[in-house]
Chain A
Amino acid sequence: MNASGHYFIADKAVLAFDPAKTGLAVTMRADQEVLSPLEASRLLMAVAAKRDRAAFAVLFAFYAPRLKAFLRRSGMTASVAEDVAQETMLLVWKKASYFDPARAGASTWIFTIARNARIDRLRRDGRPAAIAEALDPSDQPDEPVSGEQAMIAAEREERVRTAIALLPPEQADILKKSFFGEETQSEIAYTTGIPLGTVKSRVRLALGRLRQILDDLK
């Protein structure tokens, strides 16, 4: 169930009810706990092909709260993170036809939309950030992918998941922290008491290790 009181099974809205009228004590949750990558891809394609609102609502229930957390962790206030998470989901709706499961998984594609929305917001707020989404390859309608490429995309997602799991926990942790921009390297240095140069070289080492694992898994 999502925040608007609609209850969904897969992509079909089976029931829309008002909890107040049922008299049941219902805990409203904005989050959907589980969504498999395969199901997420299928829902995105339903949005692209049929403008399927029920499918979109399931995607929203799963991704919007996670986007909000991701954006907040990257330094936005809760209200700006809320706003950019909504903006991202609106773009997911609008750009769904560009989603190609042969190129990237649903979560990866949605991540790149959120990243660009975040860049865009920071730029509009006049803070140093990167350039507009117009320059992002995920926006370009691509040439058709070959069967081989499609396999590469699916493999890549799997390889990256495995590689992260194989990293020593402290290296996985430093990469996660720096990926989300949760803390800048100077902040990591400050909070851990480790000199900045050491933090930098740890990030470098963790990336080197990740690269090694990724290449070994090829």
Chain B
Amino acid sequence: MIKHHPSDETLFRYANGSLEPGPRIVVAVHVGGCATCASRIGEFEALGGSLLHDSEWDQMDAGALDSVMARIDADEADHTRAAAPGRRLPRADVGIRLPQVLDDCGIGPWRWIGPGVRWSRVTLPDDDSANVMLLKVTAGRRLPEHTHVGLEYTHVLKGAFHDARGRYGPGDLDEADDEVQHQPIVDKEGECICIAAVEGRTKLRGLFGRLVQPLFGG
């Protein structure tokens, strides 16, 4: 049962394409398993469709259609051309089955980052600079109290943690901004694995950011 979802603002930005690559992939992981959010994004996309349909319009260049038709002809005449193979990024085995939406991403090996905490770098196929990572925290561990600078998106893949705001289990997405000050504690029953991203290409400062920042050369 999913209890924590991205905000409507985040889903709105997902739908209109303005959510940054890192947060976008974390939200995509959540949406892949959340019919409620998939439906909300569908609504915002329908809003985009409706705005496009009723939009004002700009004159296209003379010959625009002909030029697109010529490209279609060129493509169709060239049946032999195979699609360029995508970049294959190295994928370490992180011990759990990752959501399909991450299939094209590179996955780094687990690295020790502090007592009971390991991280693995997630590389997006087309954007090396996005700050996305997997985090694994051992059962029962209490993380240092901290705040965030900018929005940080954390989606639980396995296990659970809780703080003053509630409990976050598999499928939950925690959207924490600079007003959130918390001290998450991982459930005693087992380790917790999350995928997390932070808005902006600036340094990571949040929960996990504080831990991994040195590794990103921050």
Contacts and interface: CB of A to CB of B under 8 A. Distances in A.
A66 B55 contact: yes
Contact of A3 (B8, B44, B63, B104): B63
Nearest to B50: A161
Nearest to B21: A131
Nearest to A109: B49
Interface stretch (A18-26, A188-196, A204-212): A204-212
A128 interface: yes
A37 B53 contact: yes
B52 interface: yes
Interface in A99-120: 104-112, 114-116, 118-119
Contacts of B31: 137
B43 A129 contact: no
Interface residues of A, number: 71
Contacts of B59: 30-31, 65, 68
Interface centre among A135, A178, A204 (most CB of B within 10 A): A135
A155 B5 CA distance: 24
Contacts of A67: 52
B18, B86, B124, B127 interface centre (most CB from chain A within 10 Å): B18
B67 interface: yes
Please report whether the interface of chain A is mostly helix, strand, loop or mixed according to DSSP: helix
Contact of B17 (A82, A115, A207): A115
A84 B68 CA distance: 11
B42 A156 contact: yes
A160 interface: yes
Most buried by B among A57, A66, A130, A179: A130
**Chain B interface residue count: which class?**
35 or more
Contacts, number: 178
A207 B52 contact: no
| Residue picked from A81, A107, A159, most chain B C-beta under 10 Å | A107
Contacts of A135: 24-25, 28, 101, 104
B125 interface: yes
A106 B75 CA distance: 24
B58 interface: yes
Interface of A: 2-4, 28, 30-31, 37, 53, 57, 60-61, 63-70, 72, 78, 81-82, 85-86, 89-90, 93-94, 104-112, 114-116, 118-119, 123, 128-132, 134-135, 137, 153, 156-157, 159-161, 164, 175-176, 178-181, 203-204, 207-208, 211, 214
27 contacts: A3-B65, A28-B62, A30-B59, A60-B65, A63-B52, A64-B60, A66-B55, A67-B52, A68-B58, A69-B58, A86-B67, A93-B72, A105-B46, A108-B45, A115-B17, A118-B17, A128-B21, A130-B24, A131-B21, A131-B25, A131-B125, A132-B126, A135-B24, A135-B25, A156-B42, A157-B46, A179-B16
Given A65-B58, A160-B43, 18 more contacts: A3-B62, A30-B60, A64-B60, A66-B53, A68-B60, A78-B58, A82-B60, A89-B68, A94-B75, A104-B49, A115-B17, A131-B125, A131-B126, A135-B28, A156-B39, A156-B42, A176-B51, A179-B48
